[in-house]
A and B are shown apart, each in its own frame.
Chain A
Amino acid sequence: MFDVTVIGAGIVGSLIARKLSSYQLSVAVIEKEPDVGNVTTMANSAIVHSGYDPVPGTLKAELNVLGNKMMDQVCDELDVEMKRIGSLTVALYDEQLPLLEDLAKRSAQNGVPVQILSAEETLKLEPNLSKEVKGSLFAPTAGIVNPFTLSVHAIENAVDNGVKLFLEEKVVLINKNDDFYNIICESGNTYQTKIIINAAGIYSDEIHKMVEPIDYFLTPRKGEYFILDHYCDDLVKHTIFPLPSEKGKGILVTPSIGGTFLVGPSAEAMASKDDVSTDKFTLDEIKRQALMLVPSIPFNQVIRTFAGSRPTPNTHDFIIRYAKCDDHFITLSGIESPGLASSPAIAEYVVNEFVSRVIKLIPNPNFNPRVKARPHLKEMSVEERNKFIAENPDYGKIICNCEKVSLGEILFEMNTSVPPKTIKAVKKRTRAGFGKCQGGFCQPLVTKIISEKFNIPLNEVMFQKRGSFVVRYDIKGEKK
């Protein structure tokens, strides 16, 4: 019997689990995917929004602004790369200038520092912007973050502090007994828990429906993106937004924390939550719109396209509340953008405002907020790095050429409490395979490393999900 069970190990569920691990509670996290942070957390703009955009007075506005402020400390404790590069929301037509004023007012109401810049000032900051620019809203507190390690390190820190993580457990049924829930999974396993926190992201409506009828609905809204290689030096130094519309924040152009550039997303209402396919028509439209902002984007440097799906609620705000039928079921739904930026604040809010009212929270005296510190080879001097390699030669052996990731860094991750066992999981944690060859050279090596480390045959190593084989048939074996 667990005190609290979190359903969903995306960024929100992971940070909630971590917050819960700072109290004397028995906590479980159940995740349907083979890795944490695998759905919406994995495919988004990776931006720490400043909070100028959400409608003042909404939960979105409050949690975005607070989450943004908390991000430095969280990233420091969890050893996650984050940079406050600032954002520029750009007006391309004279008619848009009043909208900048409106946004500035909204920012003031939300408590977000911003500044309206003239065309000249804007171009001085970002010379590659369209010369048509008429002015912009500069939000210096906006940032970029590594969403992959943020979610992985959050859950790892939670597990290090006593949380139990169960992967590949898809919840199919929830039964309420007198004073506890039975969570039944597709695997046949049942988890008993006093409190459920539904952080199932794009599936949170379905989980909620397992306990009561719901009065909102989620629309999966797909966003497609381009990733451009590192070598477009100085393409843009800030996150560049067009002016927002009711469809969202529009097509942005931004550096990513890994040094690549992101262009996107589209915003297309989908029939299926699982559809994260890309298509030429949409990508061409993204390209067209992005080039209006930044005419010199070198699209011949594209290393990948991808799509993510965000759960857009018809309520136009984050939905965080108790189930109507029971205050031991806390639901979080419609956590679309700026969910990533808000996530640390969401975790605090859920625990302080909801969990604390239904169970006694006694601080965990052994709670350590810091994740096991990663070796940051790239930041070391030659001497430091050599000392490091002398102690462990694996740090000298480079596996991923494009991103210069060493064997030591990959093995480090494999020795943590939430080890990567798929190609994708290794990629998210270490960047091996993130570069221009997209694993062309390192994927066979990583497959071998996983196979050897976890003692699984090479043809049972998965790319990502169950059934996503890397190599399928043993040539020699079949000839017998």
Chain B
Amino acid sequence: MINRKLVIIGGGSAGMAAAIKAYELGERDILIIEKNAYLGGILNQCIHNGFGLHEFKEELTGPEFMTRFSKKVDELGISYALESNVLSISDDKVVTYSNAKDGLVEVKAEAIILTTGCYERNAGAIQIPGDRPSGIYTAGQAQLFANCYGYLVGKRVFILGSGDIGLIMARRMTLEGAKVLGVAELMPYSAGLNRNIVQCLKDYDIPLYLSHTVKKVIGESHLEKVVIAKVDEKMNFIEGTEQIFNCDCLLLSVGLLPNVDLFNKLPLSMSKTRGAKVNQAMETEIPGIFSAGNVLHVHDLVDYVVEEAREAAVGAISYLNGELKHEGHVYDVNPGVGINYVVPQKVFLDDVKDNLSFKFRVAKPMKDINILITEGNNIIKKIFKPAIVPSEMEIVHVSKDLFKRESNEIKVYVEEKK
């Protein structure tokens, strides 16, 4: 058994940002455990640009963005184990990982930050109706094959779901000579960022079918056709709206889910994000175990992922220094009308230094709204927004001084102007 102060599981953007921040705060005994042969996680396959506008005030590709972090990790001499797969975390914080060189390694950690990112909802998860041919991929799989392996998964492409990776892949495959026949989106609005709708679909005349989904996939061995149809407000197919597309590949961009596998055997409750419930320090219900980035809730921008990872690092260092007391005035944080989820789910007010931030997504696109944050019956913050969409994560910062300690519930909700 090896002892480590801070173990970070997952060496993607969140893991590296957390490690660097912890180092900057004075911690030297840090180990990052990464399953791939390189740091950077999924950004390695995201060769398009658009990363880093907030973090570096410039537009970088995924590999460029992550390299700035991995260089820093190396400069600081933070240790990491590559090609190392964590098999389990015990509730007394023993992290067991496996690799070819060292075999099974047990690390007793004082604090853990889980930054294992997310995975894509796939054909199984969405219970895709019809045959079981090959030729159906998640957008990220197609991206990996194209950008890291040099192979195109198809030449006539249909895309289900307007998530950002799907939109990015619509453009990517078009540029490689494939014909993208269309994108179907179940909801009446896009799930992706507006800039991607414009730059990846409109610029290439790729049609977007809103309120449409796949009714059937057809193909004996490889995909031959997809049938899409329009859905009503209750998501039921509308007869007679079927359209058939002859295609050799269907890409799915139907959402991402936190990769919380390693938490599943621990006595932790999950939130509506399907990540673990955390407090203001990004700490889970087990003191000293933290979670940040897409494993906590799926972010729209990596810039916000690294920001959150730093919050978790600050939390972990505070924990190691005995500064997280988990005492005093406590709030449950709940999403109200118009909001899908809020992170964090709990606030120990006395453990907050200056500011609190609430991250959330709205349930549907809205115009001219107020975001309200309340403590019991008191409105403690009200922000006007001319427009708000579910594809963008919202962050609201609230000063600690605004809380009155009169209630034990904080609510975040949206007020629509009639």
Contacts and interface: CB of A to CB of B under 8 A. Distances in A.
Given A274-B220, A278-B127, A471-B149, A382 B132 contact: no
A393 B100 contact: yes
B85 A404 contact: yes
Contacts of B119: 436-437, 440-441
Contact of A440 (B122, B134, B151, B222): B122
Interface stretch (B138-146, B326-334, B410-418): B138-146
Given A231-B264, A440-B120, A277 B151 contact: no
Contacts, number: 148
B222 A304 contact: no
A277 B130 contact: yes
| Best-surrounded residue of A277, A304, A438, A440 (most CB of chain B within 10 A) | A440
A453 interface: no
A56 B278 CA distance: 58
A453 B298 CA distance: 37
Interface stretch (B102-110, B197-205, B392-400): B102-110
A324 to B, nearest CB: 34
A476 B150 contact: yes
A440 B140 contact: yes
Contacts of A404: 85, 87
Given A404-B85, A468-B134, A475-B150, A302 B127 contact: yes
B133 A468 contact: yes
Interface in B248-291: 248-249, 261, 264
Contacts of A277: 129-132, 216
A208 to B, nearest CB: 24
B155 interface: yes
B29 interface: no
A390 interface: yes
A167 to B, nearest CB: 15
A426 to B, nearest CB: 14
Contact of B103 (A231, A276, A386, A472): A386
Contacts of A397: 83, 85, 98-100
B124 A438 contact: yes
A452 B216 CA distance: 35
A280 interface: yes
B177 interface: yes
A305 B98 contact: no
Contacts of B134: 462-464, 468-470
B interface bracket (residues with beta carbon within 8 Å of A): 35 or more
B132 A276 contact: yes
Interface string B151-175: 1111100000000000000000000
B387 interface: no
B63 interface: no
Contacts of A439: 122
B177 A443 contact: no
A474 B220 contact: no
B151 A474 contact: yes
Contacts of B87: 398, 404
A401 interface: yes
Nearest to A459: B151
Given A396-B102, A440-B120, 20 more contacts: A274-B220, A278-B130, A304-B125, A305-B127, A306-B132, A382-B104, A385-B98, A393-B101, A396-B101, A397-B100, A402-B261, A438-B124, A459-B151, A465-B220, A467-B221, A467-B222, A471-B152, A472-B152, A474-B151, A478-B152
20 contacts: A227-B124, A277-B130, A279-B216, A280-B127, A283-B127, A382-B96, A386-B104, A390-B103, A394-B100, A396-B101, A396-B103, A398-B98, A436-B119, A437-B119, A440-B122, A462-B134, A473-B151, A473-B154, A475-B176, A478-B152
